[in-house]
Amino acid sequence: MEAAVAAFFDVDYTVLSVSSGRQWVRYLRRNGRITWRLWGMFLWLALRYYLGLLEFPRASAKLTAMIAGADEQAFREETRRWFEEWVRPYIAPGAVERIVWHRAQGHQIALVSAATEYVVRPLAETLGIPDYLCTRLEVVDGRLTGRVVEPPCYGPGKVYWVERYAAERGIDLARSYFYSDSYTDRYLLLRVGYPIAVNPDPRLRRLARQRGWPIERFY
């Protein structure tokens, strides 16, 4: 039996035209639940991410610590409402068209994101995508601990989760696709047979040109 082909899609600035993390912080600020100090910290982390200087484990630890002890079910319900108002309107039309195309080819489709399931899961459900790989938050006795399940789905961590997913489902990564906007995803882009740079940041644009990868825009 021939191995399956998959199409993997990053989320922020690829399937979405915005950063879901930034939308969450804006939501908190709008509702008076974030201090100016925390807002400044987020902007600093966003700048370091853009410059490729972000230490993701340390940054995610700072952000997830903000919700340590929260009731997971209540948090899930709140983020579902937030998704509908603050995220769903920013689904990129080009991404939807490409997902439809891959589905017509019989390819397996999965979202792959450093974001948590509280945005990735509702996005996958909205798009009719059954599978998603993302950063998981630890839950103990129904409460968020503020810790991330290792490894986070970021950088080399994306390769780990995608290889595990591919092994479980008989997917040939050499014949599969990955769409991303970020240079931090170069590890997975180099792992698949068909890497596509979508709305790429400057460093990914340079890498894509060097490698001869397609460069596309979804919005």
Whole-number Å distance between alpha carbons of 15 and 159: 19
Whole-number Å distance between alpha carbons of 219 and 214: 16
**Could you say which of 10, 181, 185, 201 is catalytic?**
10
**Identity (one letter) of the amino acid at 159?**
V
Residue closest to 182 by CA, chosen among 8, 41, 13: 13
Respond yes or no: is residue 12 known to be catalytic: yes
Q: Give the three-state DSSP class for 162.
A: helix
Respond yes or no: is residue 10 known to be catalytic: yes
Whole-number Å distance between alpha carbons of 137 and 151: 11
* DSSP category for residue 111: E
Whole-number Å distance between alpha carbons of 156 and 135: 13
Query: CB of 57 within 8 A of CB of 150?
Result: no
Task: Write out the catalytic residue numbers.
Answer: 10, 12
